[in-house]
Amino acid sequence: MTEEKVELRRGLRDVYIDRTTSSFIDGKIGKLLYRGYNIDDLSEKSTFEETIYLLLYDKLPTQAELDEFDGELKANRHLPEEVLQVIELTKTAHPMDVLRTAVSVLATFEPEVNDNSQEATLRKGVKLTAQAPTIVATHARIREGKDPIAPDDTLGHAANFLYMLFGEKPLPEDARLIDKDFILHAEHGINASSFGARVAASTQADLHCAVTTGVAVLKGPSHGGAAEEVMKMALDIGEEARAEQYVKDLLAGGGRVMGFGHRVYRAVDPRSIHLKDDARELGERKGQPKWFSILASVTKAMEPYSRRGICQNVDFFSGAIYYLLDIPDDLFISIFAMGRIPGWTVQVMEQFKNNILLRPRLQYVGPMDVEYVPIDQR
Amino acid sequence: MTEEKVELRRGLRDVYIDRTTSSFIDGKIGKLLYRGYNIDDLSEKSTFEETIYLLLYDKLPTQAELDEFDGELKANRHLPEEVLQVIELTKTAHPMDVLRTAVSVLATFEPEVNDNSQEATLRKGVKLTAQAPTIVATHARIREGKDPIAPDDTLGHAANFLYMLFGEKPLPEDARLIDKDFILHAEHGINASSFGARVAASTQADLHCAVTTGVAVLKGPSHGGAAEEVMKMALDIGEEARAEQYVKDLLAGGGRVMGFGHRVYRAVDPRSIHLKDDARELGERKGQPKWFSILASVTKAMEPYSRRGICQNVDFFSGAIYYLLDIPDDLFISIFAMGRIPGWTVQVMEQFKNNILLRPRLQYVGPMDVEYVPIDQR
C-alpha cells in the first residue's frame, strides 16, 4: 500500500480541466449555448451547415460564406475507392465499428494527416463531417445487398444522408427533422467522446486519431447507445396504458429507464424539448402517434425522479424520430456521431491551441516489493 | 463569462482518478512495479509472455500455466484474410495508422466483441496482443513489395515478430532485446493512451474500442513518438565529440532534447536503465558503439537538467536498439504499442470492474446569450 493519502476524483465529476469558448451548459436550468447562441434559436432558425460554420469559425456566416462552406462540404462527400472496399470487407460489423474503421482508414488518404495547425485541423474536420454520412449510408445499403447511392449535390447535408440511405429524395419536412437532430448533437462540451478526442490531441496525435477515438468512446451504451434502447423500451411497452406499470416494474426490479439522467443536467436536457416536439409532430404526420404517447407516459411516470434531477436527456425522444423515419435501430448511434464530428473538431482545435498532456494518476493499492520466484520453484 | 469561480486542473496533473493494483510508480526515486514485482527483476529474469500473464492474471504462472498461455498466444497470431486485405489497401499510411485501423477491423471478426465481462475482455486482450506483431510485420513487408511471412509457432512472441519482419529467424540475443523491450513497455499506469482506453471503457465501449483508442492516443509525438526522434537526433549529431555542443545549441535555440522528461518521473526512468545497458551491449556486438556513445554524451550534457528532475525516459535508448536491429524508424512507436496492449487490457478490466463515466468539465469563458440575427441581416 502506498503511504500517500490522496483525494480520489472518480469519474472526474465536476473537475474542470480547461477553459472553453465552444459551448456553455447550465445543468441547473437546462440551458445550452453554442458560441453564445442558444440552441433554442439554432435548432429552430438555423441549419446544420450554418451551425457548424458557427462552431468552427466562431461566427455566423454571411450568405456568401455559407454558400462557400456548403460547397466545401458537398465537394468532400465522396469516399476514396479503398474506403468503399474496407466497408465491404467489414460490412458484418456494427455500424459504429464500421464508422470507426472508415475514419481511421481515411487518414491514409488525407495529405494533411499530420498537420495539427488550426487551419488544417478545421479543414480535416469539415471533410470528415462531409464523409461520415456517406460511410454510414453506404454501409447500411451494402450489408443489405443494395448498391450504394452516390451523394446528390442538390441536397443539403441531412437530406443527402436520407437520400443515400433510402435511394429516394426525402420529404423536406423529414430532412428538416434530421437537420435539427444534427444541430442538437453538434457540440456538448467535454462529454466522454469529446474528452477522449482531447486526450488524443493532448499527445499531439492528429485529428483522425482524435475522431477515431471519439467514435470509439461514443459507442459505449452509457454515452451514445441510449436512443436505441429507449425505442426498444417503447416497442416493449407496446401501448400507452401499460407505460406507468412498466416503469414501476422496471424500477422495482432495479432496472433503469434509458434516456433519463445526465452527468451535467439536473433539469430537462434542453435538446430533448425540441426532439419531443419533433417526435410528436412526426408521429401524427405518419399516422403513428402511439410511440410518442408511450414515451410521454414514461416521462409522466418518471416525474418523481425528474423532481430529484433525473430528467429526460437528448436520447429520450430521438429514437422515436429515427424509428418513424424507418432508420434501422443500430444506426441510431451513428447519427449521433455524424452530428458530433464538428464538436470533436472544435474541442481538438481548442486543445491544440493551448496544449498540455492529459495524464492523471491512479492510487496504487496493491502489494509492494514482491520477491520474484523462479518458475521451477513456484 | 460564467459567474462560477472554479479551480482548473489543466493536464489533470496529480489528479487521482481511481485506485489500481496493476502497477506502482514512484517517480521520485524511479521505481516501477508490475503487480508488486520490480521491473528490474522482470526485465532480467522473466519473459514478455510470463510478464503479461502476471499482469493479466495477477500472479506468476506455473510452467503448465505458462505453456498453456503461450499456446493461446501462438494460436491467435494469424489474421483473418479481410484484415490482410485492409492492410494492403492502407499500406501507404503510417504504421500506427495501419495498426489502429487493423485493430478496429478486428472487431468485425471477434465473436465476443461486445462482451465486457472480465473473462471475455482478458481473452480479447490476449488475442490482440498476439495479433499486433503480425499486423505490424505484415504491413512493413507489404509496403516494401515483399510477401508477408506466416507466424512461426516454434518461436516466442518477440522472436516471431523479428522473424515475420525480416523473414529469417533472429539471433536469440537479438530476440531477447525485443523481449525485454516489450516487458518494459507492457504497463505504466494511467499514461495518456491507457487513460484514453479507460475513457472508452467508462462509457461501456468494448475492448476493441479501447485498444483502437490506445493506439490513436499513443501516436502523438508527446507520448509514443520520442524513440524515433531520439535516434534522428543521434544520427544528426553524427559523432560523440559533437554531442555536448549540439545539446547546448538545441537548448539555447529553445528546442528540447527528445527522450528527456516525464510527467511522473523526477528521477531517471527505471526502464531506461535496462535499455541503456542493452543499447551499449548491442552497439558493441554489432560493431557500432558510436550511437550509444553519442547518446551517453547527450545524457552527460543534460546532467544540469537531470538534477532538476528532467531525466532520460523510456524512449531515450530504445530507438538505438531498434536502429541497430535494422527496424525501420517509423515502426518504433508500433513496437511500443505492441508491448502496451496488455497494459491497456488490464486498465480496461480495472475500469469495467468498478465503472464510472469519465466526464470532467470545462469552464466556459465565451459570450453569453448572443442574439441570433437572420442571415439576410448579417
CA B325 vs CA A301, B171, B279: distances in Å: 67, 10, 10
Please report which confidence band the pLDDT of residue A4 belongs to, taking 50, 70 and 90 as the band edges: low
CA A43 vs CA A57, A182, A311, B257: distances in Å: 18, 9, 20, 50
Q: Which of residues 263-292 of A touch B (CB under 8 A)?
A: 263-264
pLDDT of residue A225: 80
Q: Which of A206, A262, A274, A278 is catalytic?
A: A262
> Which burial class, exposed, middle or buried, applies to A329 when counting CB atoms under 10 A from its CB (0-12, 13-18, 19+)?
middle
Q: What is the mean pLDDT of residues B245-251?
A: 95
Q: Which of residues 28-87 of A touch B (CB under 8 A)?
A: 33, 35-38, 41-42, 45-46, 50, 60-63, 66, 82, 85-86
Q: Of B267, B270, B266, nearest to B314 (Cα)?
A: B270
Domain A23-220+331-353 shares a fold with domain A226-324: no
pLDDT of residue A1: 46
**Do B372 and A45 make contact, defined as CB atoms within 8 angstroms?**
yes
Cα of A370 to nearest chain B Cα, Å: 5
**Do B216 and A224 make contact, defined as CB atoms within 8 angstroms?**
no
Residue of A nearest to B18 (CA): A362
Whether the CB of A336 is below 8 Å from some CB of chain B: the reply is no
**A330 is annotated as an active-site residue:** no
**A278 is annotated as an active-site residue:** no
Residue of B nearest to A357 (CA): B11
pLDDT of residue A226: 84
Q: Which CATH class is domain B23-220+331-353?
A: mainly alpha
Range with the largest mean pLDDT of A1-5, B181-185, B251-255, B301-305: B181-185
Pairs of residues, one from chain A and one from chain B, whose beta carbons lie less than 8 Å apart: 394
Q: For the segment A290-314, what is each residue's pLDDT rounded down to a tens digit?
A: 999 999 999 999 999 999 999 999 9
> What is the rounded CA–CA span in Å between residue B51 and residue B125?
14
**Residue ranges of E strands in chain A:** 16-20, 23-26, 31-34, 37-38, 361-364
Which residues on chain B are in Cβ contact (under 8 Å) with A376?
63
Half-sphere exposure of A167 (CA within 13 A, CB side): 7
pLDDT of residue B72: 98
Q: For the segment B294-341, what is each residue's pLDDT rounded down to a tens digit?
A: 999 999 999 999 999 999 999 999 999 999 999 999 999 999 999 999
pLDDT of residue B100: 98
> What is the rounded CA–CA span in Å between residue A173 and residue A313?
24
Q: What is the mean pLDDT of residues B66-75?
A: 98
pLDDT at A126 over 90: yes
Please report which confidence band the pLDDT of residue B1 belongs to, taking 50, 70 and 90 as the band edges: very low
Residue of B nearest to A84 (CA): B89
Asked whether the beta carbons of A361 and B15 are under 8 A apart, the reply is yes
Cα of A241 to nearest chain B Cα, Å: 33
pLDDT at A47 over 90: yes
Which of the residues B2, B203, B376 would you substitute to probe the A interface, choosing the one with the greatest number of A C-beta atoms within 10 Å? B203
Q: Provide the percentage of residues in chain B whose pLDDT is more than 70.
A: 99
Q: Which fold has domain A226-324?
A: Cytochrome p450-Terp; domain 2 (1.10.230)
Q: For the segment B165-220, what is each residue's pLDDT rounded down to a tens digit?
A: 999 999 999 999 999 999 999 999 999 999 999 999 999 999 999 999 999 999 99
> What is the rounded CA–CA span in Å between residue A317 and residue A319?
6
Please report which confidence band the pLDDT of residue B222 belongs to, taking 50, 70 and 90 as the band edges: confident
Q: What is the mean pLDDT of chain B?
A: 96
pLDDT at A19 over 60: yes
> What is the rounded CA–CA span in Å between residue A49 and residue A59?
13
pLDDT of residue B223: 86
pLDDT at B53 over 90: yes
Q: What is the DSSP letter of A370?
A: B
Q: Of A224, A191, A239, nearest to A343 (Cα)?
A: A191
pLDDT at B76 over 50: yes
* Secondary-structure percent of chain A, ordered helix, strand, coil, rounded to 5: 60, 5, 35
**Residue ranges of E strands in A5-159:** 16-20, 23-26, 31-34, 37-38
Q: Which of A206, A269, A278, A315 is catalytic?
A: A315
Q: For the segment B129-175, what is each residue's pLDDT rounded down to a tens digit?
A: 999 999 999 999 999 999 999 999 999 999 999 999 999 999 999 99
Whether the CB of B5 is below 8 Å from some CB of chain A: the reply is no
DSSP B304-343: HHHTTT--B-THHHHHHHHHHTT--GGGHHHHHHHHHHHH
Which of the residues B8, B97, B223 would you substitute to probe the A interface, choosing the one with the greatest number of A C-beta atoms within 10 Å? B97
pLDDT at A2 over 80: no
Residue of A nearest to B54 (CA): A372
Which of the residues B359, B364, B371, B372 would you substitute to probe the A interface, choosing the one with the greatest number of A C-beta atoms within 10 Å? B359
Q: Domain residues of chain A, as ranges? A: 23-220+331-353, 226-324
Q: For the segment B38-48, what is each residue's pLDDT rounded down to a tens digit?
A: 999 999 999 99
Cα of B83 to nearest chain A Cα, Å: 8
Whether the CB of B194 is below 8 Å from some CB of chain A: the reply is no
Cα of B6 to nearest chain A Cα, Å: 7
Whether the CB of B100 is below 8 Å from some CB of chain A: the reply is yes
pLDDT of residue A223: 86
Cα of B71 to nearest chain A Cα, Å: 17
**Do A372 and B202 make contact, defined as CB atoms within 8 angstroms?**
no
Residues with Cβ < 8 Å from A292, sequence gap 6 or more?
A279, A280, A283, A317, A320
Whether the CB of B1 is below 8 Å from some CB of chain A: the reply is no
Which residues on chain A are in Cβ contact (under 8 Å) with B361?
14-17, 189-190, 264
Residue of A nearest to B96 (CA): A209
Q: Is the ipTM of this complex over 0.95?
A: yes
Q: Provide the percentage of residues in chain B whose pLDDT is more than 90.
A: 95
Q: Which of B157, B185, B262, B274 is catalytic?
A: B262
Which residues on chain B are in Cβ contact (under 8 Å) with A202?
11, 192, 220, 222
> What is the rounded CA–CA span in Å between residue A35 and residue B203?
27
Q: What is the mean pLDDT of chain A?
A: 96
Whether the CB of B368 is below 8 Å from some CB of chain A: the reply is yes
Which residues on chain B are in Cβ contact (under 8 Å) with A32?
none
> What is the rounded CA–CA span in Å between residue B247 and residue A65?
48
pLDDT of residue B233: 95
Which residues on chain B are in Cβ contact (under 8 Å) with A2?
24
Neighbours of B371 (CB within 10 A): 8
Cα of A255 to nearest chain B Cα, Å: 17
